């Protein structure tokens, strides 16, 4: 269905102020003279017809008057609530500047303050008191062709912990990136928060907290709510893909395992993070000049992100001919207690495949010295844990040490880009989860790579939606990682960057979508016939926020 037709269906007899109050339809001063007459807008707008380009100028002028990033975040959220086309035009034209505001790291502060900066609801809030009525609530959503649902229960927001219903900022932000980076139409995106309470005492005592001020729901009652939600989405939005986002470790692994083969479902914290990290590692190989199987990986953090990355690295190693058991022995983990080894009796299920037969080591630096990794991957949420002695040890053992400090937001990063370059004499191959500015060191400027999931999940989502796939598989994330790594140019490498520039994100997402769709078609994961020209078909599905003309219906 063309986006022009989608707009016409959404218009559906609306006129006058109803159009101006609808963020998907509202074009503000950019309504043409004929549209103003046909849609009953004459007199409701200033007489001078504007252009979208002029509107962007006005937005940027006002945005630059804001003194802090959180003020900019509030301003952009308000713009999205008024004029979605204009919001996405601004974001897409200034993505390097906008992404740190609408997503990490500023979205983290936005979630912390969510109840205090709350203006207008966006998305669906489903609480544990709504059990038995979830389908009814889903049917309240005004758009019926939903294709991507991002849902959280707010228990593990970024590296900030349990923020309860305040975590809604994450699904909203993720879906903004689906649209800006991969062209999924805003009306096809649904953010959802499952309000299951919170164990955050500060929120429980905050009169402005927007969620139910009760302790977290656990056990069978929690599972029943999630089950009702998933089956409800399948019934109400049968072509939708469900992305699980920022659930606590125990629930995230369990829910992914439970639903991945029953519905079109994936977990971005586990699988998306793995994809973007593996892509960064493949890019690093172009610098180190060897193979993935020549490396040994040490993770600080053994939660969703760490285990997800480890599993996809194992997939990559097996693709090089390494046996699975040997591949797992190349991945070592340190959690909050120390090195993950077989002798420990306190390991949860998802860590057991990486519990090696080795003496326990409680100190991280000692673990580095003992394991002698070629790549250090931080997914701990513990800031400054890649200390100078740790990074210097990596530099002593490796000519080009790979150091990925992936914890979000910036305040949680295991080390800064400047520290990584300075402590390795400029030899580190560095990536971070949140952005760092370029670093000048000994006459050379390094542009740090940002291992942002936005390089992966929008393209995967687009490929799944365009192919009408019924499942999301690990193979899709593997081909997404390989595709992303191939998009890195010689110019990127010359700057020390192992990911493409964000100005190419739509190109990247399109390429990933094509690769993912091919997996769906070749694997029999869709009843749809493969288009003869798949790249052209994928491109035709990508929304662009340039205004379409509105022709009122009968």
Complete edge-to-edge strand list for the sheet that includes strand 265-267: 124-127, 189-195, 148-152, 241-244, 265-267
DSSP string, 84-141: HHHHHHHHHHTHHHHHHHHSTTHHHHHHHTHHHH--S--SEEEEGGGTT-HHHHHTTS
The whole-angstrom separation of Cα 330 and Cα 356 is 10
The whole-angstrom separation of Cα 486 and Cα 288 is 16
The whole-angstrom separation of Cα 336 and Cα 314 is 23
Q: Which of 514, 487, 486 is nearest to 501 (CA)?
A: 487
Structure tokens at 526: 């869709």
Report helix, strand or coil for 195. Answer: strand
Active-site residue set:
103, 174
The whole-angstrom separation of Cα 404 and Cα 436 is 13
Structure tokens at 324: 């699975």
Q: Residue 158: which residues within 8 A CB-CB, separation 6 or more?
A: 104, 107, 108, 111, 170, 246, 381, 408, 409, 412
Where in 115-170 does DSSP place strands (E)? 124-127, 148-152
The whole-angstrom separation of Cα 167 and Cα 174 is 12
The whole-angstrom separation of Cα 135 and Cα 235 is 8
Contact 528, 474 (CB under 8 A): no
């Amino acid at each position: 269905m063309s986006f022009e037709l989608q707009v016409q269906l959404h218009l559906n007899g609306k006129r006058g102020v109803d159009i101006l109050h609808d963020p998907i339809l509202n074009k503000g001063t950019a309504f043409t003279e004929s549209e103003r007459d046909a849609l009953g807008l004459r007199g409701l707008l200033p007489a001078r017809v504007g252009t979208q380009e002029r509107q962007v100028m006005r937005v940027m002028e006002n945005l630059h008057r804001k003194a802090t990033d959180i003020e900019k975040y509030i301003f952009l959220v308000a713009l999205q609530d008024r004029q979605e086309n204009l919001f996405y035009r601004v974001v897409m034209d200034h993505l390097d500047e906008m992404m740190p505001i609408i997503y990490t790291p500023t979205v983290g502060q936005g979630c912390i303050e969510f109840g205090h900066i709350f203006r207008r609801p966006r998305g669906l809030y489903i609480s544990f008191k709504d059990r038995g009525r979830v389908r009814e609530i889903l049917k309240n959503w005004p758009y019926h062709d939903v294709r991507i649902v991002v849902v959280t229960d707010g228990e593990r927001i970024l590296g900030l912990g349990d923020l309860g219903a305040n975590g809604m900022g994450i699904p909203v932000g993720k879906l903004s990136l689906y649209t800006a980076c991969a062209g999924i139409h805003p009306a096809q995106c649904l953010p959802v928060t499952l309000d299951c309470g919170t164990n955050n005492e500060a929120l429980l005592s905050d009169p402005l907290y927007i969620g139910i001020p009760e302790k977290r729901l656990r056990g069978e009652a929690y599972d029943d709510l999630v089950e009702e939600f998933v089956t409800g989405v399948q019934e109400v939005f049968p072509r939708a893909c469900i992305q699980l986002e920022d659930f606590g470790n125990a629930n995230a692994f369990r829910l992914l395992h439970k639903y991945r083969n029953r519905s079109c479902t994936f977990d971005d914290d586990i699988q998306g993070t793995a994809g973007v990290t593996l892509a960064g590692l493949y890019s690093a190989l172009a610098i180190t000049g060897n193979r993935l199987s020549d490396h040994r990986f040490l993770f600080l953090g053994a939660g969703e992100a760490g285990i997800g990355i480890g599993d996809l690295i194992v997939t990559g190693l097996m693709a090089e001919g390494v046996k699975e058991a040997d591949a797992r022995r190349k991945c070592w983990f340190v959690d909050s207690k120390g090195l993950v080894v077989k002798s420990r009796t306190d390991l949860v299920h998802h860590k057991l495949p990486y519990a090696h037969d080795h003496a326990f080591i409680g100190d991280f630096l000692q673990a580095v010295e003992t394991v002698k990794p070629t790549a250090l991957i931080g997914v701990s949420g513990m800031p400054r844990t890649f200390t100078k002695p740790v990074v210097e040890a990596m530099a002593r053992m490796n000519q080009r040490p790979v150091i990925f400090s992936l914890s979000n937001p910036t305040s949680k990063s295991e080390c800064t880009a400047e520290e990584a370059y300075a402590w390795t004499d400029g030899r580190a191959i560095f990536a971070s989860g949140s952005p760092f500015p370029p670093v000048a060191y000994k006459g050379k400027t390094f542009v740090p790579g940002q291992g942002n999931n936005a390089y992966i999940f929008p393209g995967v989502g687009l490929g799944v939606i365009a192919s009408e796939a019924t499942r999301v598989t690990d193979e899709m994330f593997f081909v997404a990682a390989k595709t992303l790594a191939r998009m890195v140019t010689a110019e990127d490498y010359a700057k020390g960057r192992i990911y493409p520039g964000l100005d190419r994100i739509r190109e990247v997402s399109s390429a990933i979508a094509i690769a993912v769709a091919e997996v769906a078609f070749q694997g029999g994961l869709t009843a749809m016939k493969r288009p003869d020209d798949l790249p052209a078909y994928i491109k035709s599905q990508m929304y662009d926020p340039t205004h379409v003309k509105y022709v009122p219906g009968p």
